[in-house]
Structure 1
Amino acid sequence: MLSLFGGIVLGTFILNDFSLLSSLENLFSLFASLLREAWILKTLAFAILVGSIMALIEKSGGIEGFVDYMLHKTKIVKSARSALILSYIVGVIIFVESSITALISGAVGKPLCDKYKIPSAKLAFVCDSTSAPISSLIVLNGWGALLLGLIATQISLGIIEADAVSLLIDSILYNFYSMAALVVTFAAIWFNIDLGAMKNAKYIPKETDIVQSNGASMFYMLLPIILMVIFVFVFLYLTGEGNILKGSGSSSIFYTMLCTLIFTLFYFVGTKNMSFMTWSKTAYLGAKKLTPIALILLFAFGIGEITTELKTGHYLASLADENLSIYLLAGMIFLISSVISFSTGTSWGTFSIMIPVAVPMAVAMDANIALCIGAVISGGIFGDHCSPISDTTIISSMAADCEVIEHVKTQMPYALISGAISLVLFVVFSFIS
């Protein structure tokens, strides 16, 4: 929080020529404007509501029931590897929204990781490395809507002549980082490969101030999670006025968590799993526990605004010389997108900055347009994975109950391997195309 806030203050001073009064005024205006944005408020509320719901699920005893079922009544999970593989599979199956993917993957994996004493950093790595990559590969979600809109804008401006949907599908085939990240993550789980800081990651028993197991049915865990998935689709459909691709991601996850919280009230209290007072207290304690995460998210959004005003992305993009070899163009776009995404903590913001830059460059140099768009998508996700101020990084840490900086340090070697593979593939496919 101190690092993020310090970055915001320094950026504000630079924007205001180091005038103290102007900087303080703009700093106040920045946070006022952020808190007026509905999508930001909904995202912050989402983080707090997650804390309530997870605490309630733990308190209900549904997690212990789920663990008991998976360990003793089925043969699916019988080792540390199979526990992480289950979280991986959940992360791949649930592609509707990256935050929900990380949350549910963490919720399913956390009790099993506790059983086998798996470090929370490993679970956070699995949550993060499946959420954004799978959401950007199976684009029946907000990711697809954003990318489709950005590509359609380039078509409407007359920069390219193509069908937006076909071009989006072609560019997804060149989303090498997401594919590499999924393969590297699976290999790391299957062969128990610990690299860098992950070698020193330790299992820390979680605090039991909220959780008091009563050995209840696993459905106290499964039903709220299943409803989350269903509600996201429903609210994407409703907010998109019948078109899931046009639905609001922030509104959908907020309404999803609110409805799930209300469901737990009727379900847990109605079945006499807990009293209303117990439900209220547990929900409050869970929300309180994750309030600092909401504050980190707010500061992350703030520094993203500052770097946008400083035109960090446009400056970095301008460093790419138009006379650059066509064979290195896609690789350079991937690297620039990675740096922008890392610096700003947002893959979506990177897409918005770099697609309008990359497409005209590709057209001018007669390069493969789909390959260059794929480089933007890959670079945006790669930088986002490595960034400690990314919302997906923060939410994945939250889902696995892991410190954000520990998650960043332990995930970095795997992300760098996937990034190196992607860079080589972009150069190779530039020659092929």
Structure 2
Amino acid sequence: MAVVVGEFIIADFSPLSALMLMIERFISLLSEGWVLKTLAFAIMVGSVMTLIERSGGVNGLVHELSVKRSLVKSKRGALMPSFIAGIIVFIESSITSLVAGAIGRPFCDRYGISRAKLAFVCDSTSAPVCSLIPLNGWGALLLGLIGGQITAGLIAGESATWLLQSIAFNFYAFMALLVTFIAIWYEIDIGPMRHAAITPPDIECEDAKGGIGLFLWPMVWMIGGVIAFMVITGNGNIFKGSGSTSIFYTLLITLGLMLVYYRLKNVLTISDFFDAAWSGARSMTPIALILLFAFAIGGVSSDMQVGQYLASFIGDYLPSEYLAGAIFVLAAIIAFATGTSWGTFSIMLPIAIPLAVGLDAPIALAMGAAISGGVFGDHCSPISDTTIISAMASGCSVQEHTKTQLPYALISAGFAFILFIIFGIVLT
């Protein structure tokens, strides 16, 4: 409905023109390589997860960490492996969510933790960590946007230096990680999270069926594959690699390696392997459709120039000490409405930097506010690919994930906004 209404407005309220625009938009989307690869990734993830489960890899992981090594013995411990994985796997936000979700699902079911809480942990570590440790596509985009402002003569210096300075002011990312850790450590459930559905535990997880290698090796192949393909697609420079291409080919190769490995281990017949792969892929079809419509809404918002319209509200009359706070809020609104942090960075950084220069405000603080706002809005948006993939990886609905994590995100954003105001006053 959002796509239909948006196209109707763009077409000057002509039903026929709106219909033609919508058809053209979806044809254009489905002709884009990165869109098709992302949709294929979503479907193949379902195959990987189902294969790991049916092979006994999930039971092997639980037995290894809970029984054999006694590392996971409580609700607190059940979510910590996902939190740690979310921080360590910073190469690509989709893979971060996938790995964290795969690790946490069996432990959450065993210790009576809702899948929504797991999705919150996956989502609250993936994008924030990727924006704090920019040795990935995020860093490449931000370096390019900052470099454009240097080329234009608005600021002087090196892109990498400015990026590192802005990371120190990425307050939302820091707050999101801190709030997530506190929510895990003290087992805090607030708002809708208290009423989130809990998946009954699988009693088979109590025995030693399967083996941890059946779970661990596919994870290693996925992480290693993304790193390798980021370097390959970037011609030796990981910063210039293609995230969508990397995760697509990584999943294809991972499925091939899993077929060989599971047959050597004799845990699945060829027939059982393809049956599980097809079942998992079929279960992810609705998620792929949600992603497709999310991309369409992003295109509609871009054509309507939503970001530029909102940015026009910031003018010369805004006191310089409050500029960072205003940029943070505006970037959050744009990211929430469009479902993309990267698109928000592309809109807001070229606006935030000239504003900071013109108002004699701290430039790095303004950059940090634009990045923080983009991450926050994307974090909360139900049409964000990161939100959708975190819900998918954790096994809960997008609607439940969105409403249950919102209170935590708002708390993190509240503290971040206060810090932007304080630092704006002090540094200005």
Report the TM range for the smaller structure's normalisation.
over 0.9
d(CA) in 2 for partners of 1:379, 1:413: 16
5 Å-filtered alignment, 1:78-117, equals 78-117=73-112
Which residue is 1:53 aligned to?
Answer: 48
d(CA) in 2 for partners of 1:183, 1:204: 27
- Within the candidate set 214, 228, 233, 2:222 is matched to 228
Q: How many residues align?
A: 425
Percent of counterpart pairs with the same letter? 54
- Within the candidate set 264, 270, 273, 2:264 is matched to 270
For the pair 1:411 / 2:379, whether they are aligned, the reply is no
For the pair 1:395 / 2:408, whether they are aligned, the reply is no
Q: CA deviation at 1:273?
A: 1.3
Q: CA deviation at 1:321?
A: 2.1
TM superposition score normalised by structure 2 = 0.97
Which residue is 1:237 aligned to?
Answer: 231
For the pair 1:182 / 2:177, whether they are aligned, the reply is yes
d(CA) in 2 for partners of 1:393, 1:201: 17
Q: Is the contact between residue 60 and residue 214 of structure 1 (CA under 8 Å) also seen in structure 2?
A: no
Which residue is 1:430 aligned to?
Answer: 424
Task: Give the superposed CA RMSD.
Answer: 1.4
For the pair 1:15 / 2:10, whether they are aligned, the reply is yes
Which region of structure 1 is more displaced relative to structure 2, 400-409 or 196-205? Answer: 196-205
Which residue is 1:36 aligned to?
Answer: 31
Cα offsets for 1:143-191 (capped at 9, x unmatched) = 0000001000111111211211100000011000000000000001111
Cα offsets for 1:387-423 (capped at 9, x unmatched) = 1100000000001101111111110010000000000
Call closer, same or farther: CA 1:206–1:280 in 2, change over 3 Å.
farther
5 Å-filtered alignment, 1:54-69, equals 54-69=49-64
Which residue is 1:312 aligned to?
Answer: 306
3-state SS in 2 of match to 1:221: helix
- Within the candidate set 285, 294, 297, 2:288 is matched to 294
- Within the candidate set 90, 115, 118, 1:120 is matched to 115
Which residue is 1:138 aligned to?
Answer: 133
Cα offsets for 1:190-221 (capped at 9, x unmatched) = 1111111111113033899xx9x991111000
Which residue is 1:3 aligned to?
Answer: none
d(CA) in 2 for partners of 1:156, 1:365: 20
- Within the candidate set 194, 203, 206, 1:199 is matched to 194
> What amino acid maps onto 1:104 in structure 2?
V
Which residues of structure 1 form unaligned runs of 5+? Answer: 1-5
> What amino acid maps onto 1:203 in structure 2?
I
d(CA) in 2 for partners of 1:354, 1:268: 48
Cα offsets for 1:362-407 (capped at 9, x unmatched) = 1111111111010011000111111110000000000110111111
Q: Is the contact between residue 109 and residue 202 of structure 2 (CA under 8 Å) also seen in structure 1?
A: no
Q: Is the contact between residue 61 and residue 214 of structure 1 (CA under 8 Å) also seen in structure 2?
A: no
d(CA) in 2 for partners of 1:80, 1:194: 12
Q: CA deviation at 1:337?
A: 0.1
Which residue is 1:333 aligned to?
Answer: 327
Which residue is 2:379 aligned to?
Answer: 385
Which residue is 1:370 aligned to?
Answer: 364
Which residue is 1:259 aligned to?
Answer: 253
Cα offsets for 1:294-342 (capped at 9, x unmatched) = 0000000000000000000000000112220011000000000000000
> What amino acid maps onto 2:399 in structure 1?
I
3-state SS in 1 of match to 2:284: helix
d(CA) in 1 for partners of 2:49, 2:81: 19
3-state SS in 1 of match to 2:119: helix
Which residue is 2:71 aligned to?
Answer: 76
d(CA) in 2 for partners of 1:162, 1:432: 24
d(CA) in 2 for partners of 1:347, 1:380: 5
TM superposition score normalised by structure 1 = 0.96
> What amino acid maps onto 1:286 in structure 2?
G
Call closer, same or farther: CA 1:177–1:135 in 2, change over 3 Å.
same
Q: Is the contact between residue 154 and residue 160 of structure 1 (CA under 8 Å) also seen in structure 2?
A: yes
Cα offsets for 1:24-45 (capped at 9, x unmatched) = 1111000000011111111000
Which residue is 1:169 aligned to?
Answer: 164
